[in-house]
Chain A
Amino acid sequence: DAGITQSPRHKVTETGTPVTLRCHQTENHRYMYWYRQDPGHGLRLIHYSYGVKDTDKGEVSDGYSVSRSKTEDFLLTLESATSSQTSVYFCAISAGTGGYGYTFGSGTRLTVV
């Protein structure tokens, strides 16, 4: 299986604080994605990356930024967390087989209080 890990798995933070979620892959894949999952909304793309220092916005990017300084790491930062950003966050990589589908990390459950 592809090696992709997310950290932390769970986090509770206060409104207004910055939060960084990390996605780490050991597969040397070029494409990486950050999604959030909320009931009734399915999976919504926040940001994605198509190489080191190459990133672009998804459909729900407001309030989020990303960085990718190395192939293996893709960081998602909530610049000033709000309660509406309480969600489950998934990182995914696009594998080179199976029609370029995704392999997902285990997810990060973030609660903003």
Chain B
Amino acid sequence: AQKITQTQPGMFVQEKEAVTLDCTYDTSDPSYGLFWYKQPSSGEMIFLIYQGSYDQQNATEGRYSLNFQKARKSANLVISASQLGDSAMYFCAMREHNAGNNRKLIWGLGTSLAVNP
């Protein structure tokens, strides 16, 4: 069973509008971390934001925020005031902290975001 599900293969948003990229996860580990990465057309993988399972508040990093709903097992990425440079592939990932001493991340298949001028 997929542990990270990103149900939106592709999304469009108008410049300056906000957009939410969905991510749901599945784990029985009470301690875990959730990550979002951006991959622009140039190919590099860029870390955006992190949320720990015990963090009381939703993580924010500039225009990025993570809407963490623990009971629903969702960790949606919210991008406010979209910019043309936000057009990219976005990946959600999870690390289960008690899954062995290897720090492996489990990845979703990604969502392609296009920002229209």
Contacts and interface: CB of A to CB of B under 8 A. Distances in A.
Given A40-B109, A42-B108, A99-B35, A107 B103 contact: no
A102 interface: yes
B109 A101 contact: no
Tell me whether chain A's interface is mostly helix, strand or loop, or mixed. Answer: strand
A76 B78 CA distance: 36
Contacts of B102: 31, 48, 50, 56
A42 B45 contact: no
A98 B47 contact: yes
Given A42-B91, A43-B91, A99-B33, A31 B103 contact: yes
A58 B47 CA distance: 22
A99 B95 contact: yes
B68 interface: no
Nearest to B47: A101
Interface of A: 31, 33, 40-43, 45, 48, 50, 56, 58, 88, 90, 92, 94, 98-104, 106-107
17 contacts: A33-B104, A40-B109, A42-B91, A42-B107, A42-B109, A42-B110, A50-B102, A58-B104, A92-B45, A98-B50, A100-B95, A100-B103, A101-B50, A101-B95, A103-B47, A107-B43, A107-B45
